[in-house]
Amino acid sequence: MTTALFGHDSSLRHVTPNGHPEQVARVERIMAGLAAPQFAGLDRRDAPECSDADILLCHPQAHLDAITAAEPESGTVALDGDTHMSPGSTMAARHAVGGCVAAVDAVLAGEVGNAFVACRPPGHHAEKATPMGFCLFGTAAIAAKHALERHGLSRVAVVDFDVHHGNGTQDLLWNESRSLFIGSHQNPLWPGTGLPEETGGHYNVMNLPLPPHSDGRLMRATYEAEVFPALARFKPELVIISAGFDAHADDPLAQLNWREDDFVWLTERLCDVADASAGGRVVSTLEGGYDLNALAASVAAHVSVLMERAG
């Protein structure tokens, strides 16, 4: 088996204002990196457009309608200080959701060992009825709900190692007792949520704030002490990763000092978790990462591990 790589050209048509860190070039650089000969074995697939019903697994109809209606006919429009839409943004976001849903389908069908979804906009800041932090729809949470509701899984873990707290995924899965959402993130940092006392409606949320300027050693110790024991107790049948690479030392939006080898270590250990209870099944989806060189290198490192572990 191999690793599926989901992408779609619509990711290139979601345009943000000049100088915005969440830019088209992110996906261009990631895909250029994944064109190297060592990635020839990837099972490359188009991320399909999702259905309305996929979005409605986590969001009310009013949110879908508001996003669709907000798309401008030209130029860009700001939904808030960070979050922008251009012509094509709604379709890009629908393919990002569809990529995650299709990745769950492919992994659960045993067509591939694991999958990486390299679409944009990202998703983990989108709350039930509020677009936020460059995100329109909650891609990782929708993937989890899809696995629970439609594939009948009993336990799905979502691990979010983006440097920003995944407030949206937390909001969307707050009362979902069949999921365990675990987020590590820099604190203090935008959006300011993600404190340890936020534990979900069923103790199904775990937050691990990390101090600014800390490095991969603290991350590894924290995951060993808190995250892996919790995942071992939960015994997920599928591991979904919200893979943001903005904890990298070179990232301009935050002050953690992780390196590529930290992302390699973390990916390997999360694959160990999946091996233990989920038959190795991992679906990873792109969130942040804003230094283009660090992003491309970190994604390449992450996907290399996924390929190695897919067998």
Element (H, E) at 108: helix 89-108
Identify the residue among 244, 258, 295, 305 touching Zn ion (CB under 5 A): 244
Q: At CB < 8 A and 24+ separation, what contacts does 33-37 make?
A: 33/296, 33/297, 33/299, 33/300, 34/5, 34/118, 34/299, 34/300, 34/303, 36/300
Stretch that binds Zn ion, among 85-93, 196-204, 270-278, 282-290 (CB under 5 A): 282-290
CA–chain centroid gap for 144, Å, is 11
Stretch that binds Zn ion, among 71-79, 152-160, 198-206, 285-293 (CB under 5 A): 285-293
In degrees and rounded to multiples of 5, residue 195 shows phi and psi of -80, 155
Q: Which positions are annotated as active-site residues? A: 125
Are 102 and 139 spatial neighbours (Cβ–Cβ below 8 Å)?
no
The three-class DSSP label of residue 30 is helix
Q: How far is the CB of 288 from Zn ion (least distance, A)?
A: 3
Packing angle, helices 89-108 and 139-149, rounded to 10: 40
122 near Zn ion (CB under 5 A):
no
Neighbours of 149 (CB within 10 A): 12
Q: How far is the CB of 100 from Zn ion (least distance, A)?
A: 17
Identify the residue among 54, 171, 176, 246 touching Zn ion (CB under 5 A): 246
Q: How far is the CB of 102 from Zn ion (least distance, A)?
A: 24
Q: Helical H runs in 165-284?
A: 167-173, 216-222, 228-234, 260-277
Name the residue nearer to Zn ion (CB basis): 63 or 164: 164
Name the residue nearer to Zn ion (CB basis): 164 or 309: 164
Name the residue nearer to Zn ion (CB basis): 42 or 247: 247
Stretch that binds Zn ion, among 24-32, 69-77, 87-95, 244-252 (CB under 5 A): 244-252
Convert residues 135-164 into a mask of x (bound to Zn ion by CB under 5 A) and - (unbound): ---------------------------x-x
Residue nearest to Zn ion (CB): 288
Are 196 and 140 spatial neighbours (Cβ–Cβ below 8 Å)?
no
Q: How far is the CB of 69 from Zn ion (least distance, A)?
A: 27
| b/e 28-42 (16+ beta carbons within 10 angstroms → b) | ebbbebbeeeebeeb
Name the residue nearer to Zn ion (CB basis): 146 or 185: 185
Identify the residue among 277, 288, 295, 304 touching Zn ion (CB under 5 A): 288
Q: Which parts of this chain interact with Zn ion (CB under 5 A)?
A: 162, 164, 244, 246, 288
